[in-house]
Amino acid sequence: MELRRLTEISPNPENPRVIRDDKFKKLVKSLKAFPEMAAVRPVVVNTDFVVLGGNMRLRAMKEAGWKEVPVEVVDWPEEKQREFIVKDNVGFGEWDWDELANTWDAQELNEWGLDFPNDFDTAQPDEGESFKITLEYTEEDYSKLMDAFMVFGSTKEEVVFNALIKEDV
């Protein structure tokens, strides 16, 4: 990794990836708040100092007023450069939304730029708050549940809770 003047680095005119509007503003804000991250994730450039990976970060660094940019220079053939451009931006992994919901702060995740799916509830539950649970049953399990209502005569919540906890209901 080396530092180069921002003016020495050229964005890739064939960059297939863009970040627009609010997401770009979040990227600029993120770089300002956590500039150390750029050193461990430098912009990747070829020997002509054309960006292969990090075009949007370079643009955000310029917007944030940076004068120098951490870069990693690679000397690869054209076909490997093109492959890298795409692979660098492919998201092979996916988020574990249950883990995020249960162990991470939703407000921080949002501030850090994470996009939540439309059905992701970022609200923190209040003490004593109730939740609606929708369950799907096989015909056989539904029949057992209806029998349990008749036998136990409890509230539907108690019957469902007991059915979930006990195998023999």
Residues of the domain holding 98 = 94-125
For residues 6 and 88, membership in a common domain is answered with yes
Is residue 19 located within the same domain as residue 31? yes
Give dist(CA 141, CA 166) in Å, integer: 13
**Number of domains observed in the structure of the chain:** 3
Q: What per-residue confidence (pLDDT) applies to 167?
A: 57
**Whole-angstrom distance, CA of residue 97 vs CA of residue 104:** 10
Q: 101 and 84, same structural domain?
A: no
Which residue type occupies 35? P
The better pLDDT of the pair 12, 135 is held by 12
153 pLDDT band, cuts 50/70/90, is low
Query: What DSSP element (H or E) covers 73?
Result: strand 68-73
Q: What is the pLDDT of residue 131?
A: 67
CB contact at 8 A, 44 and 70:
no
Residue 17's pLDDT is: 83
Tell whether the model's pLDDT for residue 169 goes beyond 60.
no
Mean pLDDT in residue range 78-103: 86
Same domain (yes/no): 42, 17: yes
Mean pLDDT is lowest, of 10-19, 79-88, 116-125, 128-137, for 116-125
pLDDT of residue 77: 97
